[in-house]
Structure 1
Amino acid sequence: MAAMITPGSPVRLVPGTRRRSLNLAILFLVILALLWSLLFHGNIGHGRNVKPDEIRDPFDAIANNTLGFEKIFAISPVQRLDRRDAIVLASSATGFHVDFIDGFVLEEDSAKGLNESKKGVEAFTASRPHANAVQRIVAAGIASALILEDDIDWDINIKMQLKGLALGAQQIPRINSPESNATTDSPYGDSWDVLWIGHCGIKCDGSSPIQLMPHDITAMPSRYLPPYSYDPPAGTGNNVRMACMIEKAACSAAYAITYRASQKILAASTRLTDDDNMDFPDLLSGLCHNGSLECYSSYPSLVGRWKGGRKEYSSDNDQQVVNSPMSHSSGVMYSTLGNIEHILDGECAVRATIDDAIVPELIPDLFEVPHSFLQWTDKRGGHERAL
């Protein structure tokens, strides 16, 4: 027989709505306990907590407005407003920001105490702004900076090209030192001192692995490259791009340096005398060659030259045009400045700078980092590994 509930009985009925709420609360606590248990045991199994940064693509920083470096500087005389305009326009079109460092033109008769020869004056005029940029990096404690000259042009796909170089700059040192597996905050790794991305010739370190991209449509065919100071590295050719550790390079159109490298460069420059007549690219190349700096580069150069058309007038009649050269780019396949009107008009495709390009018109949004692989030789023979 069912128990009787009389007035004053300690037994109370729980209303239906309250009972359902109580059941839901208990269920929620059970689920929460299960989730906590799974996370707890998962963390024990992995030995540490998983941080959000660890699952982020390490190359994403290259897409930022400093291309994965802390700063970007362009060396340009204040008188060359046309070149500054071009640098600002091209960098805005490709999504990065440039700060200027003043270059200058030094009159020969004002070069007192330097070296009164014309060669000495020219070397000082060309090299001192680079030294000023290095000095600024050291003084401000800048972790890394990309330094550009002001008469350059680059491919509209520069960020993807830099991702390809970053892949090699990270992996090549690991072949040389297999025990090195340290993580890094830099998309280019922690091993490099110099990334020489704008040059007129390089010589690869013969003991270094090389990174090959055999089907890079942005690599300018050899017959269209401007004169280089060194022979092409073995294995390069039409639409083949290579990256390697270098022992020599020529020209300083564009290069990235770390804080540590900047200190070494500044120290080396203070030891130069007026009789040395060494320009900045030679100084930097010498530090790569003697092992003071670990230097990497891409062949062909990722940066080319831009020749802007400037109207010149006769001295006796300011309205008579003597020469009006055409603007043109050299050394890059899909020139940013050469395509600037198309870019500003919102067109999807850009044009190649040569008539017989494999892809005469390219939609940059569809371009990805080309397939690449490493090649190296050791005591056991030759090796190859896909990246």
Structure 2
Amino acid sequence: MRSRQTSVIILTFLAGLILWRVLDFSDAIDGGMTSTSATTIADDESEWEIEKSLGEISNATLGFERVFAIGFEDRMDKRDAMTIGASLSGMKLEWIEGVRWKDINEKAYPAGWDKRRNNPAELGAWRAHLNVLQKIVADGISTALIFEDDIDWDVTIRAQLIEFSRGARALQNTNSSSPHSPYGDDWEVLWLGACAMRTRDASYVYQIPDDPTVPPFKHRGEMIYPPFVKPSEMHKTRFVLERVEALCTLAYAVTYESARSILASLSLQPTNMAFDVSMNHLCMNKDLRCLGSYPVLFNTWRKEGTNAHDSDIHDDWEDVWHEKWSKGITYSTMLNVWNLIGGGKTVQAQYPEVSPQWIEFEKLEIPRGKLETYELTLGELTA
């Protein structure tokens, strides 16, 4: 009898507990959940969505819809190198044929082009870049990354781009957890590879301190240093900048809308400037919202050989032999080909003063950056 009474008490207690949980859950659905717990869950979900969006950068096109490389088909050596580098980085390239100025009908020259003053090869480069933009517009490509055919990048490029994208989104004030691009909602040009860069009229800069992939100060040539920062602060710091102006279109990204604007500006209106100078003016005049990285994330490299073989625009360089080199890339993909090609995970820095000299690149972490406020005083933009 005592056992039956005990069982009834236990069953009554369990029924009451179940009823209390049901009512409590119902209250939560009706808004009874406390604001603190609701906010925490919302914040967790938002952070998860942001991380999911940033994860798109790990795909074969680095978070863009397409990646194009411009180069001449008969420069098979350059295509070999870029194809190997892209393969080792798990990157998918689509080649766009370069254009030689002699093959351009003079009627198709931009109005105002001065053949006597300008290097004729610059006209071919101008047309080749416009051909890529034309394809982006014609095919309705949402975003595209465009390379020239002689560039290099760090073996940690995806980790670098993820942190760059955090900076780009912060500068654009992109609060959406699902932006149109992992790089934000409001950019028009991402200038990721240049030989000169500066920024103006920008009060905010995204600063990434202690970045182990930043090249030593003396090995950078694309800008003396941002004038809002002391040289002593530059050694391991990367900056994501807005309203940038740059020279050399080594690597840059565009959206469908900005590709259409650039194509219209450079094709339908008179111009007497090389492609990169024209792009610089569009950024300088704020016709486009241009963001960039200092130091840059993509830069020039050269295989072992003579200067005469390096450029397809300049033919007047001396025939002087040089070793292979890469400009401003710490853990260079091109200089580590033989460390990577057998599936290796350990690579060497190209600069002896860098520490660590050898890294397991998949384990290297890029620190989180933050927005900083600066008062800018600009110097000259020089290549």
- 2-structure distance, mates of 1:144, 1:270: 20
Alignment RMSD: 3.3
- State the secondary structure of the residue aligned to 1:78: coil
- In structure 1, the residue matched to 2:329 is 332
- In structure 1, the residue matched to 2:83 is 88
1:154 and 2:148 are equivalent in the alignment = no
Following superposition, the deviation at residue 42 of structure 1 comes to 4.5
Match among 332, 355, 360 for residue 357 of structure 2: 360
The superposition leaves residues 14-51 of structure 1 with CA deviations (integer Å, 9 ceiling, x where unpaired) of xxxxxxxxxxxxxxxxx9xx89994994486669x99x
The superposition leaves residues 167-198 of structure 1 with CA deviations (integer Å, 9 ceiling, x where unpaired) of 01111122xxxxx6334332111011111110
Match among 234, 238, 243 for residue 240 of structure 2: 243
**Cα gap change, 1:36/1:94 in structure 2, threshold over 3 Å: closer, same or farther?**
farther
Following superposition, the deviation at residue 280 of structure 1 comes to 1.2
- Choose between structure 1 and 2 for higher RCO, CA contacts under 8 A separated by at least 6 residues: 2
Q: How does 1:306-321 map to 2 (within 5 A)?
A: 306-310=301-305
Q: How does 1:54-203 map to 2 (within 5 A)?
A: 55-56=48-49, 57=51, 58-107=53-102, 112-113=106-107, 114=109, 116-117=115-116, 119=118, 121-174=120-173, 181-185=175-179, 186-203=181-198
Following superposition, the deviation at residue 229 of structure 1 comes to 6.0
- 1-structure distance, mates of 2:22, 2:122: 68
- In structure 1, the residue matched to 2:213 is 218
- 2-structure distance, mates of 1:93, 1:86: 11
- State the secondary structure of the residue aligned to 2:101: coil
- State the secondary structure of the residue aligned to 1:371: coil
- In structure 1, the residue matched to 2:7 is none
Larger Cα Rg: Structure 1 or Structure 2?
1
- 2-structure distance, mates of 1:43, 1:82: 67
The superposition leaves residues 325-373 of structure 1 with CA deviations (integer Å, 9 ceiling, x where unpaired) of 4322121000101001101123331001111112211111111122312
Following superposition, the deviation at residue 107 of structure 1 comes to 3.3
- In structure 2, the residue matched to 1:11 is none
Match among 258, 262, 283 for residue 261 of structure 1: 258
Normalising by the residue count of structure 2, what TM-score does the alignment of the two structures yield?
A: 0.77
With 66-75 and 38-47 compared, the bigger mean Cα shift is at: 38-47
- 2-structure distance, mates of 1:233, 1:350: 33
**Cα gap change, 1:231/1:368 in structure 2, threshold over 3 Å: closer, same or farther?**
closer
The superposition leaves residues 278-300 of structure 1 with CA deviations (integer Å, 9 ceiling, x where unpaired) of 11111211111112211111101
- 2-structure distance, mates of 1:358, 1:85: 31
1:78 and 1:104 in contact (8 A); partners too: no
- In structure 2, the residue matched to 1:349 is 346
- In structure 2, the residue matched to 1:21 is none
Normalising by the residue count of structure 1, what TM-score does the alignment of the two structures yield?
A: 0.76
The superposition leaves residues 84-141 of structure 1 with CA deviations (integer Å, 9 ceiling, x where unpaired) of 1111111111111010111033339x76343543725222111111111111111111
- 2-structure distance, mates of 1:43, 1:218: 51
1:205 and 1:244 in contact (8 A); partners too: no
Comparing both structures, which one devotes a greater share of its residues to helix?
2
1:156 and 1:335 in contact (8 A); partners too: yes
**Cα gap change, 1:35/1:323 in structure 2, threshold over 3 Å: closer, same or farther?**
farther
AA aligned opposite 1:297: G
**Cα gap change, 1:369/1:38 in structure 2, threshold over 3 Å: closer, same or farther?**
farther
2:205 and 2:374 in contact (8 A); partners too: no
- In structure 2, the residue matched to 1:234 is 228
- Identity rate, percent: 31
With 340-349 and 187-196 compared, the bigger mean Cα shift is at: 340-349
**Cα gap change, 1:340/1:266 in structure 2, threshold over 3 Å: closer, same or farther?**
same
- 2-structure distance, mates of 1:376, 1:43: 43
1:131 and 1:266 in contact (8 A); partners too: yes
- State the secondary structure of the residue aligned to 2:123: helix
User: Which consecutive residues of structure 2, in runs of 5 or more, have no partner in the other structure?
Assistant: 1-17, 309-318, 376-383
AA aligned opposite 2:190: L
Q: How does 1:7-22 map to 2 (within 5 A)?
A: none
Aligned residues: 332
